[in-house]
Amino acid sequence: MLKVLDQPIKTKTFLDCSADLALIFDRLGATVFAPVSRNFAKHSRIVSEKYETDKVKYSTLQAIVMEDVKNNRHKDDDSVTDAVLWLTRSLLFVTEFFGNVEDEEYLSGSVMIAYNRVLRQYHNFFVRKIFGFIAPALPSKESAIVAFATNPADVKKTDFKECLYERLDIYNDALIQVCGKIEDYFKTQGLIILDRSEWTT
Mean pLDDT of 108-131: 86
Mean pLDDT of 143-147: 79
Helix (H, G, I), strand (E, B) or coil at 10: strand
**Res. 6 pLDDT band, cuts 50 70 90:** low
Alpha-carbon span 10 to 61, nearest angstrom: 6
Q: Is the pTM of this model over 0.75?
A: yes
pLDDT digits (tens, 9 = 90+) for 23-78: 777 777 666 667 677 778 889 999 999 999 999 999 999 999 999 988 988 888 88
pLDDT value at 197 more than 80: no
Min mean pLDDT across 9-18, 53-62, 131-140, 174-183 is at: 131-140
Q: Name which residue leads in pLDDT, 198 or 139.
A: 139
CB 141 within 8 A of CB 32: no
pLDDT value at 131 more than 90: no
Residues 6+ apart with CB under 8 A from 39: 86, 87, 90
Mean pLDDT of 137-164: 81
pLDDT of residue 81: 92
CB 141 within 8 A of CB 107: yes
**Res. 4 pLDDT band, cuts 50 70 90:** very low
What domains are there in the chain, each with its CATH number? 2-139+172-188 (1.10.3520.10)
pLDDT value at 104 more than 90: no
CB 118 within 8 A of CB 194: yes
Mean pLDDT of 176-188: 88
pLDDT of residue 124: 87
| Exposure class string for 156-183: b at 16+ Cβ within 10 A, else e | eeeebeeebbeebeeebeebbebbebbb
- HSE on the CB side for 165, CA within 13 Å? 10
Alpha-carbon span 14 to 63, nearest angstrom: 13
**Res. 195 pLDDT band, cuts 50 70 90:** confident
pLDDT of residue 1: 34
Mean pLDDT of the chain: 83
DSSP characters over 2-51: HHHHTSPPBHHHHHHHHHHHHHHHHHHT-GGGHHHHHHHHHHHHHHHHHH
